[in-house]
Structure 1
Amino acid sequence: MAGMEDLDYRDVNNAKSSALPATTFAAALLVYLTLLVPWGESLKARSYETPAKAVEWLPPAARPAHYRWSFDADRDASNTGLTHAQCTLAFPDLYPEIDRAVDYWQSRQHTITPDDIEISWRKDGAVRLLIHENKLRVIESRVFESDNTYGGYSQRTEATLNQIRRALAGARAAGEEIPTIEFAITVEDFNRIPTNESDTHTIWHFARRLIDRDEDRVWVMPDFNFWAAPAAEGVVDFEETRKLAQQRDSPLADKIPQIVWRGATWTNKARRGSLIHATKDKSWADVMEINWKNKKNMITTEDTCDYMFLAHTEGQTWSGRLKYLLNCNSLAVVHSLEWHTHYYHLLIPDGPEQNYISASQDFSNLEQKIEWLLEHPDHAQRVANNSVNQFRRRYTTLAAENCYWRRLFHGWASVAFKPDAYETTRGGERVLRGVAVEDFLQAGSHKTDLARAAAKEGPPEG
């Protein structure tokens, strides 16, 4: 079947990244010997003592044969240039959602076609993209016809495109060649994928609804908040927010012994209204509805880390809040979720590796949960520690997000058509399709016209 004859996308060949000119290798090896082998001692006698961190800066081909890399959060959490093999070693449990999507299309025995990724069915909030030679191009944009959602479709789109750019830069740094692919994304809360059992339209979105079989066709990508949260209070850059959360670290016993939540209830009255009802007049709760117009009852993201319990609720669909809560060394309290993001499968509700507190959708068991945890501080602290190790120090890091994007590119390529990156202009010239993402982002409010004009006519003369 076309598009499926290549090697398994999980086994990307990184031979190019490990190739090194002989002179460069010799120079690197000389530096290694000078730094690590004291005068008068043989390399053979000292080789087993080579400090791992001392050779991290060396290219893979210049590292000693006995060296084995392992993920170190303090060193690697923000490293966007991990190799494919390092991504697999560092984040072995990160990719089930990609595997699910690949398996779905293989089970349908259907290679994704250009018609499957057309976005005419989307009124707004969608972009069609092309990756070629590790560069991102915009083929079509339907983003700026409406801008009426939180942060605006424009800000969400810019954040998502910058995430992809960052992932491609990481691939280049790692010597990884991303295959030429064409795909579509949507940045609205609802992906609105056509509902028809035989339909083969597909799109990349921030989440999919678990009970909706039509959404099996959705490819889940990291949400825009991993770049920055538009219109948020306090610091919006996600990496900076993670650092501020860490600065608020303290034992649970020293935190405010309450559950905290701020939000608008109109986005999900069933879940959020239930939380407010369950916590009304409770001494162990600091739960309030906010008004975005007057910003009453607002609290910064980092200030929530001062509380022992942090409530998470879904909004209209998924909610981007959880990743922030999981970067505090507190206890995230999460109701059973209807929507699935790229990392929700890593939530463990019980057992020795428990890393959050599960609650019913109506929060009717919340008081019992809070009281029990207050009476069992050792258990509560263990769960908080597990959460930090699982999420802040590994699976919500910049390195993990970058690795996910790159694996997503390969997974998609394994079941989709290979696009022609070039088109013929009216003047007969062969040019790259669409516009460079840098031009698209710089064009501001003219992005839609710019992308559509380029897709139809190619670049202007002169």
Structure 2
Amino acid sequence: MGLSPKNTARAPSYLLPGVSALAAFSITALLLYKVDDFASQTKTVAGHNLDPTPWHLFPAKTFEQTRQARAYKIIHCSYLACHSGTSTIPEQPQAHPSKPTEKCLDFFRWIHHDLEPWARTGISLSHLAEAQKFAAFRVVIVAGKLYVDLYYTCVQSRMMFTIWGLLLLLKRYPGKVPDVDMMFDCMDRPRINVTEHKSMPLPLFRYCTTEDHYDIPFPDWSFWGWPETNLRPWDEEFRDIKRGSQRISWSKKWPQAYWKGNPDVQSPVRLELLKCNHSRMWGAQIMRQDWAEEARIGYEQSKLSNQCNYQYKIYAEGYAWSVSLKYILSCGSLALIISPDYEDFFSRGLIPKKNYWPVSPNNLCPSIKYAVDWGTKHPFEAKEIGKEGQKLMESLSMDRVYDYMFHLIREYSKLQDFKPVPPYSAQELCPESLLCIADIKQRQFLEQSTTFPSQAPPCTLQPSNSNLIKSWIQQKKKIVEDVEDMEKVKTERRSN
């Protein structure tokens, strides 16, 4: 006799799909939570999950994507883009030049001067650890690959375009850029004061410096474009400005000193400059730049090539140095440079009365008027000085910008007393990862500045010569003093 089967309780069939759906939903929700949590801890060169620099505050950045889309973009661009196997930069075979390599421009000698504080001591990991307190990010290059450790975001897209320039340098001179470990700050004012840090100079790269700071000047982001102000990559912008400068002959240009910019940047000089806006009294036309309005109307009123219709153009520093210097010199007008406190990497090559005219900030409006009057009496000399300023900017092509970067990094790397190793928190970046994380407009500007391997080696850097640098400084001061004396003589004659 057989045993009867036991009665087994079974779940109703209609519950199984619900349970499965709930399980799938829970797993998906958990996965999305983990992905979102992982993305929220990932910092990017676009500024995701980074606070503004505490030493130069500005509004925190906002991003328009949904939370899920942002998380996907951050993970894809930060961890997958560099390993996709595709390249957006064309590779061209490097030719071996038959002629000798040309010498670098004279101002390249300042590289030795900028690195002099570490010539005897070298640069150690202790130097970098202290410099990190003043840095927004750290760049480590090892075997031709670039790694970035992010600490703070920078205003607008400065960080992105600075790193883009470094990535293109690696593409331009493949296999030639040495292993290096550098700290960067991408805000305006130098911070490593000579008096405060004399016992231990800290190597910190930025866009400008002064004679009272150790900060090492590096080509600024706008050489690769500045999407927030609609400024294109440097070579393209210079060509357009030069064409604009040739539309009207010198004699038909307005015999006035022209300036257009933003005075609301904590700049005493620019605020004082507003008082000089009187064409008859001071020979000057001073215009306020409203970037918000310019963006609204499509930057039609701020095109630089349309601002070369004046015989004189004024350069005035902003919060610190200003990227506008290279564009003002490019016009071929006589550049009236209000004696600056800050210098960038190429401005040390400027010589007063050769490629610009010095203007005193202590007697601003009369000094501008004197320059305009001098140019009116000496039109040939004024025109030639303007041409020399434009020639200097023409010689500063992107080829030379990359060469300056190359030699600065190469000389800096020689001072390191350690083997660079990317910190565990650093990310590998490549051109594809930056194009991936950029927004539509940023990507457009980045792609416009794309480069390819150079068919010629870098220019030849001249050896260090501190006496020559000192003579340049003394020569410049002497010429500026002579111009000030000329102004004083004229003022005294008027008063008598």
TM-score range, shorter chain: 0.5 to 0.7
Q: 2:428 pairs with 430, 435, 440, which one?
A: 435
* Alignment CA distance shift 1:369-1:141 (3 Å): same
Give deviations 1:185-211, integer Å, cap 9, x for gaps.
Answer: 11111243374432343210101122x
Query: Distance in 2 between the 1:221 and 1:260 partners?
Result: 28
Query: Distance in 2 between the 1:347 and 1:279 partners?
Result: 27
Q: 1:302 Cα shift?
A: 1.6
Say if 2:356 and 2:386, in contact at 8 Å, map to a contact too: yes
Give deviations 1:375-400, integer Å, cap 9, x for gaps.
Answer: 221111211222222222x1x21111
Secondary structure of 1:95's counterpart equals: helix
Tell me what 1:358 maps to: 358
Secondary structure of 2:169's counterpart equals: helix
Give deviations 1:317-351, integer Å, cap 9, x for gaps.
Answer: 1111001112112111101111111111211112x
Tell me what 2:205 maps to: 204
Tell me what 1:237 maps to: 233
Say if 1:126 and 1:141, in contact at 8 Å, map to a contact too: yes
* Alignment CA distance shift 1:186-1:440 (3 Å): farther
Q: 1:443 Cα shift?
A: 6.4
Q: 1:239 Cα shift?
A: 2.1
For the pair 1:375 / 2:377, whether they are aligned, the reply is yes
Query: Distance in 2 between the 1:281 and 1:374 partners?
Result: 14
Secondary structure of 1:405's counterpart equals: helix
Tell me what 2:36 maps to: none
* Alignment CA distance shift 1:136-1:254 (3 Å): farther
Query: Distance in 1 between the 2:312 and 2:422 partners?
Result: 53
Larger radius of gyration: 2
Secondary structure of 1:201's counterpart equals: coil
Of all paired residues, the percent bearing the same amino acid is 19
Amino acid at match of 1:239: D
Tell me what 2:273 maps to: 275
Matches within 5 A, 1:328-347: 328-347=331-350
Say if 1:101 and 1:219, in contact at 8 Å, map to a contact too: yes
Tell me what 1:127 maps to: 137
**Higher helix fraction: Structure 1 or Structure 2?**
2
Query: Distance in 1 between the 2:293 and 2:349 partners?
Result: 37
Tell me what 1:165 maps to: 167
Tell me what 2:112 maps to: 99
Measured on the aligned residues, the alpha-carbon RMSD in Å equals: 2.8
Say if 2:255 and 2:372, in contact at 8 Å, map to a contact too: no
Amino acid at match of 2:125: P
Amino acid at match of 1:368: Y
Say if 2:127 and 2:203, in contact at 8 Å, map to a contact too: yes
Tell me what 2:96 maps to: 60
Give deviations 1:164-183, integer Å, cap 9, x for gaps.
Answer: 122222212xxx62221111
Tell me what 2:261 maps to: 263
Q: 1:117 pairs with 119, 128, 147, which one?
A: 128
Q: 1:439 Cα shift?
A: 6.5
* Alignment CA distance shift 1:99-1:372 (3 Å): same
Amino acid at match of 2:418: K
Q: 1:245 Cα shift?
A: 0.8
Secondary structure of 1:275's counterpart equals: helix
Give deviations 1:408-451, integer Å, cap 9, x for gaps.
Answer: 1111012123334367x8xxxxxx96423446525639xxxxxx
Query: Distance in 2 between the 1:143 and 1:293 partners?
Result: 25
Secondary structure of 1:339's counterpart equals: coil
Query: Distance in 2 between the 1:371 and 1:360 partners?
Result: 15
Stretches of 4+ aligned residues off by more than 4 angstroms: 295-298
Q: 2:158 pairs with 153, 156, 159, which one?
A: 156
Say if 1:329 and 1:384, in contact at 8 Å, map to a contact too: yes
Query: Distance in 1 between the 2:262 and 2:392 partners?
Result: 29
Task: Flag structure 2 segments of 5+ consecutive residues without an equivalent.
Answer: 1-92, 439-496
Q: 1:262 Cα shift?
A: 1.4
Tell me what 2:291 maps to: 292
Say if 2:313 and 2:336, in contact at 8 Å, map to a contact too: yes
Give deviations 1:247-268, integer Å, cap 9, x for gaps.
Answer: 1133321322222111222324
What TM-score do the two structures reach when normalised by structure 1?
0.66
Amino acid at match of 1:367: K
Q: 1:100 Cα shift?
A: 0.7
What TM-score do the two structures reach when normalised by structure 2?
0.62
Say if 1:229 and 1:238, in contact at 8 Å, map to a contact too: no
Tell me what 2:389 maps to: 387
Say if 2:136 and 2:151, in contact at 8 Å, map to a contact too: yes
Amino acid at match of 1:129: V
Secondary structure of 2:178's counterpart equals: coil
* Alignment CA distance shift 1:437-1:186 (3 Å): farther
Task: Flag structure 1 segments of 5+ consecutive residues without an equivalent.
Answer: 1-56, 70-84, 426-431, 446-462
Query: Distance in 2 between the 1:418 and 1:306 partners?
Result: 53
Amino acid at match of 2:128: I
Tell me what 2:219 maps to: 222
Q: 1:116 Cα shift?
A: 1.8
